[in-house]
Amino acid sequence: MEEQQSLLEFMLQQRGKLLDQTIAHIGLTFTSLLIAVVIGLPLGIFIARRKKAATVVLNIAGILQTIPSIALLGFMIPLLGIGPLPAITALFLYALLPIIRNTYTGINEVDANVLEAAAAMGFSKWQILTKVELPLAFPVILAGIRTATVINVGVATLAAYIAAGGLGEFIFGGISLNNTNMILAGAIPAALLAILFDFLLSRVQKINLKKIRVAVALMPFIILLLSSFYAIPSFEKNKLLAGFTPEFMGREDGYLGLKSVYKLNIRNVVISDAVMYKAAYEKKLDIISGYSTAGRLKAFDLVTLYDDKKIFPPYYAAPLIRNDVLQKYPEVKDVLNMLSGKINDSIMTELNYKVDYLKQSPETVAKDFLTKNNLYRQPRNGNKGTIRFGSKIFGEQYILINMYSMLIEGYTDLKVDTKTGLGGTKICFDAMTNDQIDMYPEYTGTGLLAILNASAKTLDHLKQNEDSVYNYVSDQFKKKYKLTWLKPIGYNNAYALMMRRQQSNELNVHSITDLTNYVNENQK
């Protein structure tokens, strides 16, 4: 009950955003649907008359449909950038197949005798189409529109990844922040929209023959009305535009802190980190919220802005390990600490660059690094026991886990069993506490904020100092979870605001305070 109440509270508190997102969601869904109807309907009519073209068109539309939505959105970025345009285009492509196919089927299913009679009565081709074929195919076409609508309501949640808004902002923000209320505040309205539109359209589908003609006439207006919900946000050229991940948007050590501590008020859109760097590089965005050691920082020639008021807590990576494992295999501790002090920010950025951008395998990158630092040893193939390593689902963690495995197998008689790709923090941490893995690399800031949920008072007390944060989480984890933080590796993968190096120089913006000043002076 308490859960539900707090969800309601959350929704009430965020009602402004919720309304905006819902409206954007409906707008995205129906704008794309409208275009799909405008293009798909004539195309369906056309191929109903040309059987040869039909196979080709239906196959193409079918293939479009099978492209995973995230991938399709990804393809859109180089072509159309970010924002509503690529999102609507992708949604439109998804909506196309059901509409074309059902128009085609619906028209083909019209009784040949009826068509012959219509021609024999002296109907023109146009009259046959509008007075006979379309009305009779209407229920089938509507079924297609219905399918397309439901697909679009679902896929439109992904629009949040490319800065087009919609309920996905809450959903993905909630997932990243491990905030169930936020996920539900996005997911429930999205599901309700799907159910509502499906229901309404099913009612339209069931109307009797007499009203079909009225319905046929009304449909375009209704869709048009619903699409107009979406006032496309203006992307003015000469104002700085920021793109923040859904996670960043909801964090005190993120956008909220930027607003309260720096008084930064910058135009912004929500976007996924998967496409964010590229969008910045392609000048679709000017400021992004990235990770300071991201490989793409180097690949896209971006620079981080100095966090002069220290709102971003340190994210020092260190192996997090179960106490009982340390007791059982004490030799593990020193081996895992071997990496400490060997990797600083720029080295990590370089390593990430090799994996994320040059597409080298994490294993190769790990081995090369260890060899270069004279740490690599052939595996001993011992059989003293097995130790289980886990990792989150991104490149940096894969690199680390490969290094640790090589070290353990080279310096001890233990075998390593790796479980990579365990999603986010929550999954890794739960796997640890449930004794499914023994170690994974974690970040101090994550431990502090996402796992310990440190209070504002604590945060204030720690002052974002790297040592005090490390000591605090180290302490707390030992007490609460019987887990040990080994030595930090040495690099800080904290949040950072980034911009293109060239623009940073041109505008002379190198710190977040610079940015605030620039925005205040130039963008009134």
Binding site for other proteins (CB under 8 A): 111, 113-124, 132, 135-136, 209-210, 212-213
CB of 157 to other proteins, least distance (A): 38
CB of 42 to other proteins, least distance (A): 21
207 vs 375, which CB is nearer to other proteins?
207
Token digits for 426? 């929550």
131 close to 211: Cβ distance less than 8 angstroms: no
The alpha carbon of residue 416 and the mean position of all alpha carbons in its chain are separated, in whole angstroms, by: 32
16 vs 122, which CB is nearer to other proteins?
122
User: What are the angstrom distances between the C-alpha of 512 and each of 53, 496, 516?
Assistant: 57, 9, 6
Closest by CA position to 322, among listed 312, 336, 311, 342: 336
122 vs 330, which CB is nearer to other proteins?
122
135 vs 233, which CB is nearer to other proteins?
135
Helix (H) or strand (E) holding 497: strand 495-500
130 vs 178, which CB is nearer to other proteins?
130
Closest by CA position to 302, among listed 36, 497, 147: 497
Letter string b/e over residues 224-247, b meaning 16 or more CB atoms within 10 A of that residue's CB:
eebbebbeeeebeeeebbbbbbbb
Closest by CA position to 239, among listed 265, 266, 219: 266
The alpha carbon of residue 82 and the mean position of all alpha carbons in its chain are separated, in whole angstroms, by: 13
Paired strand residues for 269 = 243
Q: Which residue type does 407 have?
A: L
208 vs 508, which CB is nearer to other proteins?
208
Antiparallel, parallel or unpaired: β 287-291 and 268-270: unpaired
Q: How far apart are CA 43 and CA 219, in angstroms?
A: 18
126 vs 479, which CB is nearer to other proteins?
126
